[in-house]
Structure 1
């Protein structure tokens, strides 16, 4: 099934204008069958298949397809460069974007590649020195996009890149300045577009999939969202900066609480932290990166959980279904919330993260990373 809304919702379904022509090549499809004599270790078949896969990857694009819709290697182009990070709160010099994901996708806004399925994309991963090489790109117009594990936000090169047959474009150094206003006061999680680093509970024994027992992908178990109600039957999650550990104390998904056979209620998580000093004239910045959202709403309040109007709300967001589909990430979203210094007090403060939508057990979101920044400091 090449195009489906089953996992990622409507975002992954191609959208067309009335009468718009469209065609896209899927394939060629390669199927490999191997065998082993009775009594031999069957895992050798798996190792052999992986070797064969690597050979075929190196052979792409194949030269045998006769269709004009499948350009040969010499009819495609390449793009090369190096990606660096500029963040003065980390270093005065540029930092190498080791392991960055770099790709060419149809022109659009930063991050728009996530929802693009009508056309073609070509991606690679930068090496430990930040160098990348994107090979065998179909002719056409593209933007260069990137995201870097360990840093929030999306990079987009400002100029459209035109690929023609046989071209070899040298991009040189591209500099990504991730969102940043001030110094980090505290952070929760790892900015990697996944909720996998947070606490994933053991599955309910009646749902357990034994293929994933003692597996690194602990989230691949049905019904994990129901464990939240069992672990927090009355009050919601409270996380204390400097005391709590996100690997043990931050549930992997903020979901609803079940309160009856078919009844649910929204949840409000608390982040408690100390401030030794408060700049009451300054603006603090709360960065909230979501790894997934499904028919949910994020409301942010500061030191007053009962205020009628939240300081910030996303409104209704998300249809990527990752919670119900046993995924650990869906469509990445980054929200930047200005918090006036007058909202804080010297001593203990609390940020309230409320998800009020509660019509089904699957409504909620997964956090990727949360950071509170202080007001900007002089250069």
Structure 2
């Protein structure tokens, strides 16, 4: 480490921050990172790219009333440069772009203040931004905003996202028209003539490297000569949308390194920020930390020391959150925030007469709304934690404001919301006490399929077509991230759809992870109907059974339910057309969570053999992944009984089991 004070050199068109460990050059007044000098490397960023295409904030926006998740792409360029802090210990600079009515229709109606911070003895730099929309300004949509760094392709060729998700990566040249073949979507290409022969026959697709917010603390790239790591560290999720399970892009071929703040990936239009007329909005994104590290030159091409050091630095940044050095009053330090603690338990008398500790429960504060609304929130801040094995939780450093407390408990369906609003003030330490979640339940479990954990990961995920493989995910826990798995359904079920028999079938082997369309001989596609066969010993014809279906994702799909008559018209139940999250196509195992509770009159059931028909009929697209569903969990409950069923637990999972 250097003890040099932080210095700043303001030039005509650039400003340079230097602390003796690294130098960061920004264009002035644009605020584009044009150069990062470190460990003898003159520039870690791609020198073959224009300056504006190296390190930048960007966004996608559209006019109010627009539909979809696309819009105008805008690399955010400041028009005014200002020094906010200049001392031996810290430099903070600002690049602002103000909006005025003459720019209507040309620029997103936001005031944007991009900040960059360098600290003494720090091997990296920080960036955050303040977006501000005034009430009288035009409404608009904001599908995406992020920070992007494009690194030098000849140096950074090893990518790391997690302990078990890191590898040498193809070059961006390998994605060129001459060296690759575009597959079903432009993001996915088959490498047919890569520069390095080891990548031949692999699929490259940036979505194969997505991560959930809760696991997206650090990712980046390693250069082997000299051994240098470039890391993007996100110490908090408070400014990211959609909650802890929302998935975002990380790093991918370029080599690109991203900090995603707002995106519609794996959620669709539900997570496009849409401001209404006369609606003010302000939000701080970040700070995030760009961390650089190095190893001795005799590292023998071993990336692990750099990765382990970066993970250690990530934990240091998490412990320092909220930072006390950002100069903007819009970013409150710890003493201007509050804390909430308590305990959550579950009451399901068909499982246990006693309350069950909410082991591993996800508990969070998010803007006021209905139960589960946090997964579609993209305007406010969210603060999440996991409860311990006894259901106790503590959420710290919450920004001032009014929130609802939300939760869900792995092993149980549905969402919990604490009815009373929670007002957070500076220094408050609120104990909300014992909360009891009563998940949807009418009667005893007759049968169930899957695990209620908001994911389809426990179901059968096939091996990929050997012509479309990413070597990273062979024999990997995230095997669902392979390309083209949707096509395997037609291979496994060429003529007849999936049939699952309760009591003999095994959902880990016999329940395909996604219900997609099937290609026919004439190259058109057809919807599919899955069957669940089950037996009932007694059917009280005056009773009502309850079917609970939770979906892990949906994309322009419809789920129709029929009992014992596959041609019943109308069906007993239909979701209507739901979902636009593209999870199947983007190799995710979940998107938005949907829960349906369906009454089944006993008159539709018979003693003995019964069949439940699950139909997804939409087949307009010539791509099986475009119309489809993933199931999270299915349960059939018998009619309510006058007494609870003490000690009867779901067959597949103990309800207080934590599912990580």
> Which TM class, normalised by the smaller chain length?
over 0.9
Partner of 2:293: 34
Q: 1:9 Cα deviation (Å)? A: 1.1
In structure 2, what is the Cα distance between the partners aligned to 1:289 and 1:260? 33
Q: Could you state the TM-score of these two structures normalised by the residue count of structure 2? A: 0.57
- Whole-Å Cα distance in 1 between the matches of residues 411 and 539 of structure 2? 28
Q: Counterparts in 2 of 1:107-126, with a 5 A limit?
A: 107-126=368-387
Deviates more, 1:32-41 or 1:245-254: 32-41
Aligned equivalent of 2:464, options 203, 213, 220: 203
Q: Is 1:378 equivalent to 2:642 in the alignment? A: yes
* Matching of residues 214-253 of structure 1 within 5 Å: 214-253=475-514
Distance 1:105 1:186 in 2: 35
Deviation at 1:193, TM superposition (A): 0.1
Kindly tell me: are residues 357 and 139 of structure 1, through their superposed partners in 2, closer, same or farther at Cα, counting changes over 3 Å?
A: same
The 3 A distance-change label for structure 1 pair 221 and 262 is same
Can you give the 5+ residue segments of structure 1 that lack an aligned partner in the other structure? Answer: none
Counterparts of 1:4 and 1:95, CA distance in 2: 36
Q: Does 1:307 align with 2:568?
A: yes
Separation in 1, partners of 2:267, 2:578? 13
> What is the aligned counterpart of 2:532 among 271, 275, 280?
271
Contact 1:196-1:328 within 8 A present in 2 as well: yes
Contact map agreement 2:266 2:592 (CA 8 A) in 1: no
- 1:147-296 matched pairs, under 5 angstroms: 147-260=408-521, 262-296=523-557
2:269 — aligned with what?
10
Q: Name the SS of the counterpart of 1:28 in structure 2.
A: strand
After the TM superposition, which residues 4-83 of structure 1 pair with which residues of structure 2 at under 5 Å, given as runs?
A: 4-40=263-299, 41-83=302-344
Is 1:131 paired with 2:374? Answer: no
How far apart, CA to CA, are the structure 2 residues paired with 1:124 and 1:61? 15
- Partner residue, 1:348: 609
SS at match of 1:11: helix
SS, match of residue 487 in structure 2 = helix
CA distance in 2, matches of 1:118, 1:265: 39
Q: Which runs of 5 or more structure 2 residues have no equivalent in the other structure?
A: 1-145, 147-260, 644-660
Question: CA 1:164 to 1:190, structure 2 compared with 1: closer, same or farther past 3 Å?
Answer: same
Instruction: Provide the rounded CA distance (Å) in 2 between the counterparts of 1:343 and 1:112.
Output: 34
Partner of 2:559: 298
**Higher mean displacement: 112-121 or 258-267:** 258-267
Structure 1 counterpart SS, 2:599: strand
> Once structures 1 and 2 are overlaid, which stretch shifts more, 36-45 or 180-189?
36-45
TM-score by length of 1: 0.98
Runs of 4+ more than 4 Å apart: none
Equivalence for 1:364: 628
SS at the partner of 1:149? coil
* C-alpha RMSD of matched pairs (Å): 1.0
Displacement after TM superposition at 1:262 (Å): 4.9
**Shift in Å, 1:311:** 0.4
Q: Secondary structure at the match of 1:49?
A: helix
3-state secondary structure, aligned to 1:113: helix
How many Å apart are 1:348 and its aligned residue?
0.6
Greater Rg over alpha carbons, structure: 2
What displacement does 1:17 show?
Answer: 0.4
Distance 2:303 2:591 in 1: 34
User: Does 1 or 2 have the higher relative contact order (CA < 8 Å, sep 6+)?
Assistant: 1
Of 75-84 and 24-33, the range deviating more from structure 2: 24-33
**Offset from partner CA, 1:103-129 (integer Å, 9 cap, x none):** 001110110001001111111000111
Tell whether the 8 Å contact from 1:279 to 1:341 is kept in structure 2 after alignment.
yes
Contact kept? 1:36, 1:42, Cα under 8 Å: no
